[in-house]
Amino acid sequence: MAFYGVDLKSRLLLGTARYPSPKILADAIQSSGAEVVTVSLRRESGPERSGQSFWALVRSMGVRVLPNTAGCHSVKEAVTTAHMARELFDTPWIKLEVIRDDDTLQPDVFGLVEAARILTEEGFEVFPYTTEDLSVADRLVEAGSRVLMPWGAPIGSARGLNNVYGLKALRAHFPDIPLVVDAGLGVPSHAAAAMELGYDAVLLNTAVAEAGDPVAMAKAFALAIEAGHMAFKAQPMEPRDMAVPSTPTIGRAALGD
């Protein structure tokens, strides 16, 4: 799997917010095998640069950082945050979020496309957090995005894949674009289901960070993602309307009365 020419072995991207402690975060990253973690610029902000210890921890893990524009509600805010993140984290990668609705945290798809175009023209490699809408995805690709990150369900909802049909259609429409299910997954079976649809990766945060044992849950998701990807590659059988016996009926012995 590759994002913008960077080859990765792990298909799990892990968020870094809401963990009970820095040690648990570090242990969860190690347990998951994730090679990419998302980081919000807001962790580096505030009085006395309180995020410096967090940034030092992330760097010590040897993982690639994907900064995000979490909490941005306008194109201007998202673009400004992206520039600050590039300067701070020294990477052209940016997970682009432009939020419209505070209750569902649904993306503002119009602002998202505009911000993606601006940032791509300025040399960023954009990972847009979007919906499963095909027309929006088309616009994002036209704007220069080479990765798409549709939600499974609203952020932190743990509802799984709300629109399997839409996600399948997106995969079929963009066979050569890396697709990452981002947000809304709650248990490892949700992640396996996403991978069985042919998705390239999954991005998680809350489902791991707020589990009773985040370290064990990170490992469980990693295993589920691997199993789901293997199942997709193995070409699973199609569902059927009628039962089909696994034991052949031809040649069955005829027993008399």
Q: Which helix (H) or strand (E) holds 15?
A: strand 12-15
The whole-number pLDDT of residue 220 equals 98
Annotated ligand binding at 152? The verdict is no
Per-residue pLDDT of the chain (257 residues; tens, 9 = 90+): 899 999 999 999 999 999 999 999 999 999 999 999 999 876 455 444 556 777 788 888 899 999 999 999 999 999 999 999 999 899 999 999 999 888 888 999 999 999 999 999 999 999 999 999 999 999 999 999 999 999 999 999 999 999 999 999 999 999 999 999 999 999 999 999 999 999 999 999 999 999 999 999 999 999 999 999 999 999 998 888 888 887 776 666 666 65
**Residue tagged active-site, from 23, 95, 168, 233:** 95
CATH code assigned at 123:
3.20.20.70
Domain-embedded: residue 55 = yes
Q: Is 256 annotated as ligand-binding?
A: no
In a domain, 257, yes or no: no
Residue 130 lies in a domain: yes
Q: By residue range, what is the domain housing residue 26?
A: 8-234
CA 18 from chain center: how many Å? 17
Mapped onto helix, strand or coil, the DSSP state of residue 2 is strand
Q: Is residue 255 part of a domain?
A: no
Tracing tokens 């962790």 back to the chain, one arrives at 43
Angle separating helix axes 52-60 and 22-32, nearest 10 degrees: 30
Residue 15 pairs with which residues in a beta bridge?
A: 38
Q: How far apart, in whole angstroms, are the C-alpha atoms of residue 79 and residue 39?
A: 16
Q: Is 184 annotated as a binding residue?
A: yes
Structural domains in the chain (count)? 1
SS3 244: coil
In a domain, 89, yes or no: yes
Global confidence as pTM: 0.90
76 part of the active site: no
pLDDT at 250: 65
